[in-house]
Amino acid sequence: MSHHFDIEIAREDPSLNLCDFYLFEGAPGNTVMIMTVNPDAGLSANDVFHVEALYAFRFDLNHDAREELAFKVRFQQPQHKDAQEHIHVQKFQVRKSSHSEALHGESGELLIEGETGAAHTQGRIKVFAGLAPDLFAGDAFALHGFLAAFHKEHRYDGDVWQHRQNFFAGRNITAIVLEVPTQMIGHGHIRAWATVSLYGHAPEKQVSRWGLPLITHLFLNDPDKQEIKEQFNESVPSRDVELFSGPIAAFAARMSGYAGSVVDPVEFGRQVAQRLCPTTLPYELGTPAAFDLAGFNGRPLGDDVMDVMLTLASNKPLEDGVAPDRRRTSTDFPYYGSPYAAAEQTGVVPVPHAPKK
Amino acid sequence: MTHPQKLALTVVTRRQALGVWSALSVAGVVSLSSLAGILAPVRKREPGYAGADKPTDIHLYAFRAPGTQRVVVAVTAPVALPGRFSASPPVETRFHIGAQTVTVPTARQMTSTEPRSHGDPRTFSGPIVMRIGTAPLVLQAAVLEFPVDTLKLNNIWAERVTSAGRRQRVASPFLAALIAESAPLARAYDAASPETDLIALREAVSSTIARMAERWHYPGDTLAYGQRLAGTILPDVLRYDPQLPQGFTFAARNGRHPDDADFAVAHSMLTGTPVSGNMPRQSAQLQTCFPYFQPASA
């Protein structure tokens, strides 16, 4: 639910649903970037990447909310592995593009290529794309109740978080994991985000974006203004202050006002908007990543970002009572443990998807 | 996050409250009837928590006076500080606001001064009343008021100095909470200044945060967490830019209003865990004119 199922196209085609983005230090001198798509892969979603999509990690190196560097991944048509009908394999390529090349298109220096389901190495560059356990954790039903109380009843309801049900427990996702020498990115403080764009026969069109957790589900989820979520996913960080700081500030002001947790809700709303816009993930390259109450510095696998964002939105300490399954992380590339096997998914109900229009 | 030991625990502050009340009743500042009010709030805390008790510690505030173009910088403190300055009470409060230092003598009764020129502060010293929940509590205060256009982004800290020359520092709620955890850290803190904090305090602050985080079952590396957070809260100053949105909140720390929920913010960040602490809300019930805090005689 970080950004799972947040827009119509994502619900219709999960391979375009950019759910999460992680950024942290890998092997010494290396930086790891991960994006996830296909929520509930293997149950209600396929485990294949879109062949007409451009999956991109984008880096703002000079604090202008525009990317000067991007790593872009494209996948080929899926093939059945060893003639097994239910196991797909896709070839893919990773390219590095800089400056104006980073902004659009797929051109750039070919860094590494490979096949889904296996880790590949080229010098100090490593890549993996394939099925992985979903390490986002959150009580989706409680969030629904929390927002219903907020939008419909105009009140803060902190009691909804008592059930402690991780909606994502036992579910898989597909991940693109890329590890590169940190010097290939740069040094010092950078800001990063990830995007998925349709790219192929038609002109390039960005359909999904992730810069910080829960932006669409929490801050931009007014039932009467759902179009703003599509707008956010199609937009770029350099327009975030202009387009989204107002709605984000208004949400935080109302939430903290209902919670009675601040002296001046309007001032607090402005603080939250300044913290979250542009909506990109800050990181000091080469340092231990952490996304917690003490600050945002990249995001490692396993940090409980939902508690952080709930607390930030309301200025009230909030816990949803669930945490990522850290047993499913690894200290070695690709940093994920094994995906949940069918036997571990007993009782996990497939997520119903909206029918295609 | 999940916390298997989240049980409410009572931390008695009545002895300290009684000490304050006794001193004030002798001085005729509070009435006998207010004793019940002072005794009323029995404050709940989480297990293992021994953080700062807001009304019985020293606090620094910086905020825009409501509805004005004025900035208030204030220190509040218990009338008596058990165990710290019982023998030699502070005689003055020194405010350090950027490069400027303003000294306000401690006064048993309300005392105020007017500014001599634009940019000079108006000052107040004397006992004031705050409320913790519904209970009144009398505190000693030193208050400065500046025109907002005379203050830019500032690092603010203060110290209370006794007649014997001992000093007691105050700046952010982070260090106020941490020194309540560790007497050696409190002594080192009082002996240091912001310019020496990183050298003098970093290790002790890191390890104290790590211990707090461990008690609260922080899921990651508590030592790394302590080191990272120490690097962001030291040197210990209260940062305030009147041009930016104000408040000591989870979103930003810009100044500090007496009614801010800073206890929850500081303790959640120090433990790495959302901590409400079940603390009754503090309210200064600010007035619309200087000194903004309610003088105790009112």
A68 contacts A61 by C-beta, under 8 angstroms: yes
Half-sphere exposure of B194 (CA within 13 A, CB side): 20
Tokens representing residue A55 in the block: 């999956």
For B171, the enclosing helix (H) or strand (E) is none
Tokens representing residue B141 in the block: 């205060």
Is B268 in Cβ contact with A295 (below 8 Å)?
A: no
Three-state SS string across chain A, please?
A: CCCCCCCHHHHHCHHHCCCEEEEEECCCCEEEEEEEECCCECCCECCCCCCCEEEEEEEECCCCCCCCEEEEEEECCCEEHHHCCCCEECEEEEEEEECHHHHCCCCCEEEEEEECCCEEEECCEEEEEEEEECCCCCCHHHHHHHHHHHHHHCCCCHHHHHCCCCCCCCCEEEEEEEEEEHHHHCCCEEEEEEEEEECCCCCCEEEEEECCCCHHHHHCCCHHHCHHHHHHHHCCHHHHHHHHHHHHHHHHHHHHHHHCCCCCHHHHHHHHHHHHCCCCEEEECCCCCEEECCEEECECCCCCHHHHHHHHHHCCCCCCCCCCCHHHECCCCCCECCCCCHHHHCCCCCCCCCCCC
Q: Say how far residue B254 (Cα) sits from the centre of its chain.
A: 15
Closest CA to A175 of A221, A136, A223, A231: A136
Is A322 in Cβ contact with B2 (below 8 Å)?
A: yes
Q: How confident is the model at residue A10 (pLDDT cuts 50, 70, 90)?
A: confident
d(CA B235, CA A303): 27
Closest CA to A215 of A354, A324, A283, A308: A308
Tokens representing residue B171 in the block: 């700046």
Is B2 in Cβ contact with A315 (below 8 Å)?
A: no
Does A260 score more than 90 pLDDT?
yes
Which of B246, B252, B268 is opposite residue A293, by nearest beta carbon? B268
Q: How far is B255 from chain A (nearest CA, A)?
A: 12
* B120 three-class SS: strand
Q: Residue B28: count other Cβ atoms within 10 Å of its Cβ.
A: 8
Longest dimension (CA), chain A: 64
Average pLDDT for chain A: 94
Tokens representing residue A133 in the block: 């356990």
Residues from chain B contacting residue A283 (CB–CB below 8 Å):
none
Scanning every residue of chain B, which has its alpha carbon at the shortest distance from the alpha carbon of A260?
Answer: B261
Q: Residue A355: count other Cβ atoms within 10 Å of its Cβ.
A: 7
Q: CA dist A107 to A110, A191, B296, Å?
A: 9, 22, 72
Residues from chain B contacting residue A312 (CB–CB below 8 Å):
250-251
Q: How far is A345 from chain B (nearest CA, A)?
A: 22
A239 or B167, greater pLDDT:
A239
What's the start-to-end Cα distance of chain B, in Å?
46
Closest CA to A32 of A224, A295, A300, A268: A300
Query: Any idea which of A46-55, A202-211, B100-109, B187-196 has the lowest mean pLDDT?
Result: B100-109
pLDDT at A3: 77
Closest CA to B98 of B230, B202, B240: B240
B169 or A11, greater pLDDT:
B169
pLDDT at B92: 94
Scanning every residue of chain B, which has its alpha carbon at the shortest distance from the alpha carbon of A300?
Answer: B220
Is B276 in Cβ contact with A294 (below 8 Å)?
A: no
A269 contacts A252 by C-beta, under 8 angstroms: yes
What region, left, alpha or beta, does residue A354 occupy, with left being phi > 0 and alpha being psi -120 to 50 degrees? beta
pLDDT at B29: 32
Is A318 in Cβ contact with B274 (below 8 Å)?
A: yes
Q: Residue B13: count other Cβ atoms within 10 Å of its Cβ.
A: 20
d(CA A97, CA A126): 17
CA angle B139, B170, B259 (to 5 degrees): 55
Does A275 score more than 70 pLDDT?
yes
Cross-strand pairs, A22: A34
Which of B247, B251, B264 is opposite residue A317, by nearest beta carbon? B264
A246 contacts A269 by C-beta, under 8 angstroms: no
Three-state SS string across B220-232, please?
A: CCHHHHHHHHHHH
- List, for residues A168-189, the tens digit of each pLDDT value: 999 999 999 999 999 999 999 9
Query: What does each of the 298 residues of chain B score in pLDDT, given as a tens digit?
Result: 444 333 332 222 333 333 333 333 333 333 323 322 222 222 233 333 333 344 458 899 999 998 888 999 999 998 865 555 555 678 999 999 999 999 999 887 778 888 887 778 999 999 999 988 788 889 999 999 999 888 877 899 999 998 888 889 999 999 999 998 899 999 999 999 999 999 999 999 999 999 999 999 998 899 999 999 999 999 999 999 999 999 999 999 999 999 999 989 999 999 999 987 666 678 888 999 999 999 987 5
Question: pTM of the entire structure?
Answer: 0.88
Is A316 in Cβ contact with B261 (below 8 Å)?
A: yes
pLDDT at B154: 85
pLDDT at B278: 64
B173 contacts B263 by C-beta, under 8 angstroms: yes
DSSP string, B222-260: HHHHHHHHHHHH-S--EEE-TTSPPEESSS-EESB-TTS
Cross-strand pairs, A174: A37, A131
Cβ-based neighbours of A24, under 8 Å, separated by 6 or more: A31, A32, A288, A289, A298, A299, A300, A301
The dihedrals phi and psi of A330, each to the nearest 5 degrees, come to -140, 155
pLDDT at B233: 97
Q: How far is A298 from chain B (nearest CA, A)?
A: 13
pLDDT at B52: 37
Residues from chain B contacting residue A259 (CB–CB below 8 Å):
none
Which of B1, B246, B264 is opposite residue A323, by nearest beta carbon? B1
Cβ-based neighbours of A343, under 8 Å, separated by 6 or more: none
Which of B219, B221, B252 is opposite residue A275, by nearest beta carbon? B252
pLDDT at B159: 95
Is B228 in Cβ contact with A288 (below 8 Å)?
A: yes
d(CA B39, CA A244): 48
Is B273 in Cβ contact with A267 (below 8 Å)?
A: no
Does A6 score more than 90 pLDDT?
no
d(CA B195, CA A200): 58
Q: Which amino acid is at B16?
A: Q
Cβ-based neighbours of B64, under 8 Å, separated by 6 or more: B70, B71, B72, B148, B242, B246, B255
d(CA A193, CA A7): 18
Does A7 score more than 80 pLDDT?
no
Summarize the confidence of residues A222-228 as an average pLDDT. 94
pLDDT at A205: 94
Cβ-based neighbours of A111, under 8 Å, separated by 6 or more: A71, A94, A95, A96, A122, A125, A180
